Chains A and B, each alone.
Chain A
Amino acid sequence: GENVEQHPSTLSVQEGDSAVIKCTYSDSASNYFPWYKQELGKRPQLIIDIRSNVGEKKDQRIAVTLNKTAKHFSLHITETQPEDSAVYFCAASRRNFGNEKLTFGTGTRLTIIP
């Protein structure tokens, strides 16, 4: 099955600086890579995703890059703000008909230092 590794497990950055979280996956057939943000005591919520036919995707201050050859993808947050403090999870799945299972990384606790 799929295995997703995520690094680092904790990350502290000064407000206004950039944060980068990296993930690797093992199943070369995986073709969908979402990122979820989980605030303390809340449910995970999708913040951005990328499909395997795209190398990069941006949404305001967040971006995700995908390197299919190396089987890794990264989340980039620029101009970090206190509200970016949360746990972030990467995930991977093989979006074939009937198989939608998401395999998650172990999470990165991001702390923004004011």
Chain B
Amino acid sequence: NAGVTQTPKFQVLKTGQSMTLQCAQDMNHNSMYWYRQDPGMGLRLIYYSASEGTTDKGEVPNGYNVSRLNKREFSLRLESAAPSQTSVYFCASSEKGRLNTEAFFGQGTRLTVV
């Protein structure tokens, strides 16, 4: 099992450019998440998907869009990148319900917007 796989690992964008971060999990989890990690801010939820076809905003959704393409894949899109979106982005997945509640994280994408 690969777990949660994110691509790319590193990316540099110019202000105003767009890009999509890809995430896929092979654990048959229903729930998937996108977080951003900034120094001193912890992990902040951008968007969340409880199941295929559903998405919900998290704490910091502005400037981002998401697509839950199928059960395995959850992508994050920056339509017009801004320097404030320089961050490390983590995708995660977990199973619903009271058991097996651990969230598994991808290896992260380090994004720099210049």
Interface residues of A (CB under 8 A from B): 1, 6, 9, 32, 34, 42-46, 49, 89, 91, 93, 95, 97-107
* Residue pair A100, B31 in contact (C-beta under 8 Å): yes
B56 to chain A, nearest CB (A): 8
A63 to chain B, nearest CB (A): 18
> Interface readout for B99-112 with A: 1 if CB under 8 Å, 0 if not?
00111011110000
Question: Taking CB as reference atom, which chain A residue is nearest B38?
Answer: A106
Q: How many A-B contacts are there with CB distance less than 8 Å? A: 59
Q: A101-B33, A105-B42 are in contact. Are A46 and B50 (CB under 8 A)?
A: no
A102 contacts across to B, CB distance below 8 A: 33, 45, 103
Residues in B lying within 8 Å of A, measured CB to CB: 31, 33, 35, 40-45, 48, 50, 56, 58-59, 90, 94, 96-98, 101-103, 105-108
Cβ of B45 and Cβ of A43 under 8 Å apart?
Answer: no
Contact flag A101-B105 (CB < 8 Å), given A1-B59, A43-B90, A95-B98: no
